[in-house]
Structure 1
Amino acid sequence: MEIPTELFAQLTDPATTDTVFHDLCANAIPNELYSAMRYHPATIEVERIASTMPEIYPVGGRKPKKDTPWGQKVLIDRHINLGSGADDIRWAFSDHETILGLGLDQVMNVPVILGEQVVGTMNYLRPQQPFSLQEQAIAQLLAACLAARLA
């Protein structure tokens, strides 16, 4: 699995609208819920800037991540969070009942890093099939493209 040249050109083109950019990211990796978040380090919150389920996860919604293991792992330590199964979803998300109620039990949260600073996250959720190493690599490339947009 690789990012086709045409897709990469669209992702890095400043003329690509935010809506098209996030549609491309959402479709690059099989998922049922894609979201992108902007990180607010002063309050240790993430704010949704894109969502494929806006009726449940609206753009503009914020989640506090201060003093959470997920916040430490993804926002502070800058590691990808891969979760597989209900226990991992419960560990990562305060709204785990909603996520599990949607049948989503696989998660990949990728920190969006600009220089040495986390500026956001890209998040993919789906049922049953864990995310592969190839999908992780693609998500990191997509996150690098998003970092440039959030600069």
Structure 2
Amino acid sequence: MNDLIALSDPSVPLEDAFAICDAKIENDLFTAMRFHPDTMEVERLYSTNTAAYPVSGRKPKRSTPWGDKVLIAQEHNCGHGPADIAWAFDDHQKILDLGLLAVLNLPVVADGRTLGTINYLRGGPPFTEDEVTTGQALAAALARRGTL
């Protein structure tokens, strides 16, 4: 089955869909978050490093530049270096301590509603425009499920 078709197929378990996303862009940490617009929180549904970033809990994003950009304006966030990590994440020191310097956050948007995000971090080079385009296609395919 084509990966983009699998991502949008609700019969494919969500965890399997997230694993497909993880495999498509080189990363050292991949997470997927569900957005709760009523409380402006994100909830981690998937993580490739459950020791550092377990699947559980919610993180507040109300009145944050990252929340405004990714969750409200539905724009991707792509950055590299400590300043970009600190801009995006309250727990930036933890991320930097893991050696992660490059970030790519992509909103998953269906019918104008932000369902959540898929997030890539790595210690290596900045994410390229081709990787951003790939990530946007993955997020769009996930959105066709209608829910995260």
Q: TM-score, normalised by structure 1?
A: 0.91
For residue 66 of structure 1, give the secondary structure of its aligned residue in structure 2: coil
Residue of structure 1 equivalent to 2:105: 109
Residue of structure 1 equivalent to 2:38: 42
In structure 2, list runs of 5 or more residues that go unmatched: none
Displacement after TM superposition at 1:145 (Å): 2.0
Q: How many residues align?
A: 147
| Whole-angstrom distance in 1 between the partners of 2:85 and 2:106 | 15
Q: Which has the higher contact order (CA 8 A, sep 6+)?
A: 2
Amino acid of the residue matched to residue 126 of structure 1?
R
Residue of structure 1 equivalent to 2:144: 148
Of residues 138-147 and 92-101 in structure 1, the stretch that sits farther from structure 2 once superposed is 138-147
Residue of structure 2 equivalent to 1:129: 125
| Whole-angstrom distance in 1 between the partners of 2:7 and 2:118 | 14
Does the C-alpha gap of structure 1 residues 38 and 150 become closer, same or farther in structure 2, counting only changes over 3 Å? farther
Contact 2:107/2:118, CA 8 A, preserved across alignment: yes
Provide the identity percentage. 48
Over 3 Å off, 4+ runs: none
In structure 1, list runs of 5 or more residues that go unmatched: none
Residue of structure 2 equivalent to 1:10: 6
Residue of structure 2 equivalent to 1:33: 29
**CA RMSD between the two structures:** 1.3
2:19 to 17, 20, 23: 23
Amino acid of the residue matched to residue 57 of structure 2?
G
Of residues 8-17 and 109-118 in structure 1, the stretch that sits farther from structure 2 once superposed is 8-17
Contact 2:9/2:145, CA 8 A, preserved across alignment: no
Amino acid of the residue matched to residue 71 of structure 2?
L
